[in-house]
Chain A
Amino acid sequence: MIDILMKNLPIIVVLCPLMMSLLVVLIPNIFFSWALTTLSTFLTFLFSILLYQEIQIHSHISYALGKWMPPIGIEYIIDKVAIIPIIIISGISFLATIFAYKIMPEEIEKKSISKVYSLWLLAIAGLLGLVTTGDAFNLFVFLEISSLASVALVAMGAHKDKQALVAAYNYLIIGAVGATLYVIGVGLLYGVTGTLNMEDLTNRITDLKSNRALIAGFGFMIVGIMVKAAVFPLHIWLPRAYAYAPSAVSVLLAATATKASLYILARILFSIFENSENLINNTLLFVILPLSLLAMFAGTIMAIYEKDIKRLLAHSSVAQIGYITLAFAIGTKASIAAGFIHMFNHAIIKGGLFIAITTISFYIKRRVTINNLSGLGREMPITFFCFVLCSLSLAGLPLTAGFISKLYLIKASISSDGIWLAILILISSALSVVYLWKIIEVMWMREGKKIVKKENPTIYISLIIITFLNIYFGLDASLVVNGSFEAADKLIGDL
């Protein structure tokens, strides 16, 4: 039994939430549907840990779906690169599910809760599928599964605020355009190379270096994925979707959704097209680099002027995605590792911040804007404390996880003779202190209304765990750092 499990682990990680989502929809009871969702996310997380251990031994697992041998059949590939987003997605979704228990009934009609959990699991399955698959077309399928599930989840926010429908519609249309672009790109590649298997694509692209169709296909794929990854200026769907989705959904999406797409972006740039150096270098230098810099500043400045906290955090996500793509754009081994480090750290930072804000909105029973936060620092000390720690982590201050990512990002950019890049990164991160400080100051300084309720410990489990992770990975980062360097090594080591 265990033998079968271990052998089929790559597909079980995806199948576990996928199958459970079909089951959860049948359970009308709020508690049981939640418990089943928690169980399945927990199992998924457990399987990812097993997979992680497996990777330490074998370093590359190839799994042929239904025993159809690749390149004909669909291949699932798990290596040292893919394991990072797998751990992020399964871990965060487990924490978010625990957290959702108290929050969901506040914001969603009782009778549709089990449907929400079903979509929830479907989105997770889609994201996990995205990062495990080794087949370019299968990737499109998972992209659509995760996107459509997320759109439906965002639309569920309409129970509280009708704006959610607009946000979901936006997300749907832009997401569909992105997916279409991607699939056009895949079509062109298939036409030229005659294969959909990623490893096969890598090898065949070598022979056709300056084929126009190939370059066009590359362009379509990259732009399509950049829409999904919310790379500036293709991010416009993101702030609204995060802001108006049900709070628990915001936590899940903010911490995981774009990470999967960023991983795909890295895969396309450094793995599939690794042999077309010219094309990639030009793309990095003239497209990704300037866009990342713009994202860093535009996102931060938008966040500074934003009053609604969830939107503020969403804008900040745009800036943080900018850091990750900037790291990719520098294109050295150290910088790609820094990108992966930040991908992981940003997931726990943003997850923590969204959980903290959601907790606050749960208590004050309305949208969290700057003015609604007055004096809450004194009313809700635990939440405030966790929020401050996660903010410090986002700003990249020492002893937090965020510091580690910034440290490696800056070191990588200085090593590649980009001292000006380092200064730009730091200016933008110093600006991020401005909007975070604005929030902290209001919570700390102003007098506010008394809230009668005491802080409820069950809500805090996830918040405290994730805040602890922020500190822990600031003090002992070797796991993340080594993992990311191995991933970077795998991605461009064979260049």
Chain B
Amino acid sequence: MITIENFILITILSPLIVCVLTPFTSKNTILRDFLGPIGGIISCWGALNIMSSVLNNQNTTLEIVKIAEGISIGFEITPLGAIFGLVASFLWIFAAIYSIGYMRGNKEKNQTRFYAFYAMAVHAALCIAYASDLLTLFIFYEVLTFSTYPLVTHNQNEMAQKAGRLYMSILVGSSVILLLPAIIWVWVATGSLEMSQNGVLDGKLDVAYAPLLLAMFVFGIGKAALMPIHKWLPAAMVAPTPVSALLHAVAVVKAGVFTMLIVLTNVFGIDFLAKTGASEWLIWLASFTLLATSIIAIYKDDLKARLAYSTISQLSYITLGGALATSMATQGAALHIITHAAGKITLFFVAGALYVGAKITKISDLNGHGISAPLIFLAFFVGSLSIIGVPPMVGSWSKFFLMLGAADSGYVVVMGVFCISTILNAFYLMEIPARAFFFKKEREINIKIPKLILIPTLITSFLTILLFFFIEPFQNLTSIIVSRI
């Protein structure tokens, strides 16, 4: 019988072990390449077990290192963490397989370094998912930033250097200047770094300071990409596509919104927010980001840039859900972590497949190529429908809950925001399959997509349909989040 503590260790350590083993297997490329998928399967197995123990209402904390009095690195399981951990470790399996196809198909240099830091980033994301206190959360938040830098600048050319600079300065700058003092402020106010299901600040913090502290958190969590600190995400698109797919559509950005939700629910507490109205401005900021980036996405001809702006917009759904501070909206936000991940990773997989297969990066170059690679465009179509929120794709569930939450909270305008944004989503995402299938071909290109790329793409796109019918366990998890409030 393996205890929950051990499952936590299995889940977070298997990517770390992959990271450590990768350099030693650099001679044997097959072994090196498949370490990732194997680690992913083990890690995902652990995450599934953690999820089932959360569903059985088991709870545990695990202290790893005690740094000094009152400061330690420790892990525990929470429903939200279980969701994020499962999403990250599960999608890592497919992203790892996909990376093999991509890196080989593209004949990239420095593959060993790439795989090592890739696993390191997943490790950091999982540590964030199961972090038991604010300091652990912050530490791995930074580890995640630094482990993705070599991935973003993988090409080591001038463009990568510039993008890397922007990436680091926004993410490190915001977290060090705002997030860290915000965390220490909570520490000073409450006397500990612990979080709790109902929030820890009620009665400990002068209500007048609440909006200021919240602002420090919101702008300190740069990974959640709220305007005006979203620029790093389009910049990060210079990385090889597997990085954009797993890290900049799932692990890194979801770590951002996960932190945001944790702060809103477990530090402030939904009741405290609803009572004081401290998060009202956040509703408007998130709504604005949501719409503005959707509109920017329409004007992007570069496929990855369009997907990046779409990601920023979808992240704001999650922040918005948390800021609305009703139980339905919070559930919707948590579910959106899953549903958006499945959809967006598919879209990025397709973008990478088109680059490997035909060196296509621009949407306007896609005209008429649908027939030569029907499966890949079909996958894109399904993924897009999920993001837009059309049943029977999983994306419809989270939008449904978010809508309900907006109605509950009494912000009717926010419902309008969701509606407009859905239309905009359809507008900028549908253009791609539409061009591929219905426009006239301008030039002949032979699209050749490696199997190791095609299969993961099809699986994740199928997942968006499958999850629609099997959303129940996840919905049970999210209802635990709100039932404890």
Interface residues of A (CB under 8 A from B): 392, 395-399, 404, 406-407, 410-411, 414-415, 419, 422-423, 426-427, 429-430, 433-434, 437, 441, 444-445, 474-478, 481-482
Contacts and interface: CB of A to CB of B under 8 A. Distances in A.
B173 A430 contact: yes
B181 A423 contact: yes
Given A404-B68, A415-B188, A445-B153, A396 B181 contact: no
Nearest to B150: A444
11 contacts: A398-B142, A399-B139, A407-B71, A411-B187, A426-B177, A426-B181, A430-B176, A441-B161, A441-B164, A444-B153, A476-B66
A445 B66 contact: no
Interface of B: 65-69, 71, 138-139, 142-143, 146, 153, 156, 160-161, 164-165, 168-169, 172-173, 176-177, 180-181, 184-185, 187-188
B177 A423 contact: yes
A477 B71 CA distance: 10
A28 to B, nearest CB: 47
A445 B68 contact: no
A168 B409 CA distance: 71
Contacts of A399: 139, 143
A408 B168 CA distance: 24
Nearest to B145: A397
B67 A476 contact: yes
Contact of A445 (B67, B161, B168, B181): B161
7 tightest CB-CB pairs across the interface, nearest first?
A398-B139, A481-B68, A477-B68, A478-B68, A426-B177, A422-B181, A414-B188
Contacts of B156: 444-445
Contacts of A411: 184, 187-188
Contacts of B177: 423, 426-427, 430
Contacts of A441: 161, 164-165
Contact of A396 (B68, B153, B161, B176): B176
Nearest to A473: B67
Contacts of A475: 65, 67
Nearest to B174: A430
Contacts of A404: 67-68
A418 B180 CA distance: 15
Nearest to A415: B188
Given A426-B177, A437-B168, A398 B68 contact: no
A392 B142 CA distance: 11
B176 A422 contact: no
A426 B67 contact: no
Contacts of B173: 430, 433
B63 to A, nearest CB: 13
Contacts of A478: 66-69
Given A398-B142, A398-B143, A441-B161, A410 B181 contact: yes
Contacts of B172: 397, 430, 433
Contacts of A482: 68-69
Given A475-B67, A477-B67, A478-B67, A414 B165 contact: no
